[in-house]
């Protein structure tokens, strides 16, 4: 019995050693045990492998992750309509631009500038840089952006496009239904509604909504050149507008919180935080002069903000 028990134990030990050896030995077609893992990683990191992913956001590859962030060159753009080339011109890497397009393909829509912050891989600093340039057109009834590409025609060729960054306009049939103002007519840029704006030659529904939407975000315009911030050629519009700065809506800088301050196109998160921190340490602001000591504010920033902040 002892002899039989010993033989059984010996057989079990030998069998276990053989199984371990077979498991650890490299395959003839795969000489490296890590080759499969490395191949899968290479496919994941390669552009073709990442393009095949549809269930989640595309992460940067190892090489992209090691590179220094590209310098952004912001200009007015609508994240609901910007194509890959436009996003790349802004300075965003290709994988991040793909995430934006993938989000839209799945039915996603950016309803306000803050929604763009949720894009995978976008840093807070990048968002703060781009936020003043995010202009979102109102949605159409079907939820899509309500702008129609320019259609070539003799009428559209006679009127130069007012858009510099975006060459969007309304269809010719829509424009023919609107009676335009005669030369010499002027409107108050801060009080004209979209119906009145559409009566100006060269302005259709899309541009009228663009002006109205940006005016609402700003609190009104204090000079005609501000239309250039949303990609419009203000020189072609200057003869049609006058500006009443009494219509400007100002923010109470001593009672407004960080979140509401940062929603203004001329303020980012760090500037809003600096204002709130100053109030906490030194009390209410009586002017913008103390903010000149902060590196977050340039003289141009303070000049622009002086039209939109009150110190009551």
CA–CA distance, 254 with 244 (Å, rounded to integer): 25
Q: Does residue 156 register a pLDDT over 80?
A: no
Please write down the long-range contacts of 242-247, taking CB distance under 8 Å and 24 or more positions apart: 242/186, 242/187, 242/188, 242/189, 243/188, 243/189, 243/190, 244/188, 244/190, 244/191, 245/190, 245/220, 245/307, 247/188, 247/190, 247/191, 247/220
pLDDT for 27 equals 47
Q: Which DSSP string do the residues of 33-82 spell out, in sequence order?
A: TTHHHHHHHHHHHSHHHHHT--SSPPPPPHHHHHSPPPPP----B-TTT-
Q: Is the pLDDT of residue 39 over 80?
A: no
What are the pLDDT digits (tens) for 82-119? Answer: 888 888 888 888 888 888 888 888 888 888 888 888 88
pLDDT grade for 44, boundaries at 50, 70 and 90: very low
pLDDT band at 56 (very low <50, low <70, confident <90, very high): low
Percentage of residues of the chain with pLDDT beyond 70: 69
CA–CA separation, 129 vs 93, rounded Å?
15
- 91 touches 147 (CB < 8 A): no
pTM: 0.50
Question: 309 and 272 in contact (C-beta within 8 Å)?
Answer: no
* Contact by Cβ (8 Å): 307, 222: yes
Stretch among 79-88, 210-219, 289-298 having the lowest mean pLDDT: 79-88
**pLDDT higher than threshold 90 for residue 274:** yes
CA 187 to chain centre: 31
Whether pLDDT at 231 is above 90:
no
Confidence of residue 42 (pLDDT cuts 50, 70, 90): very low
Q: What is the mean pLDDT of the chain?
A: 76
């Amino acid at each position: 019995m002892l002899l039989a028990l010993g033989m059984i134990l010996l057989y079990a030990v030998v069998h276990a050693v053989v199984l371990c050896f077979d498991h650890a030995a490299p395959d003839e077609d795969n000489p490296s045990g890590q080759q499969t893992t490395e191949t899968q990683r290479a496919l994941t990191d390669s552009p073709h492998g990442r393009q095949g992913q549809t269930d989640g956001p595309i992460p940067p590859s190892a090489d992209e992750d090691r590179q220094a962030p590209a310098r952004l060159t912001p200009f007015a753009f609508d994240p609901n309509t910007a194509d890959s080339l436009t996003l790349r011109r802004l300075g965003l890497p290709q994988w991040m631009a793909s995430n934006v397009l993938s989000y839209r393909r799945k039915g996603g829509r950016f309803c306000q500038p803050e929604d763009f912050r949720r894009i995978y891989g976008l840093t807070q600093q990048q968002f703060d840089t781009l936020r003043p340039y995010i202009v979102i057109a109102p949605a159409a009834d079907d939820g899509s952006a309500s702008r129609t590409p320019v259609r070539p025609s003799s009428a559209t060729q006679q009127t130069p496009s007012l858009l510099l960054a975006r060459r969007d306009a309304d269809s010719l049939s829509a424009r023919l239904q609107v009676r335009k103002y005669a030369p010499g007519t002027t409107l108050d840029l801060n009080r004209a509604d979209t119906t009145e704006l559409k009566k100006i030659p060269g302005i259709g529904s899309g541009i009228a909504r663009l002006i109205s939407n940006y005016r609402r975000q700003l609190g009104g315009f204090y000079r005609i050149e501000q239309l250039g911030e949303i990609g419009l050629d203000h020189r072609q519009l200057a003869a049609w507008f006058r500006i009443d700065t009494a219509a400007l809506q100002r923010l109470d800088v001593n009672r407004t919180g960080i979140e509401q301050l940062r929603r203004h196109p001329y303020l980012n998160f760090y500037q809003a935080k600096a204002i709130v921190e100053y109030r906490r340490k030194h009390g209410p602001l009586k002017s913008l002069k103390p903010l000149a000591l902060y590196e977050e504010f340039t003289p141009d920033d303070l000049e622009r903000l002086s039209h939109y902040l009150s110190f009551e």
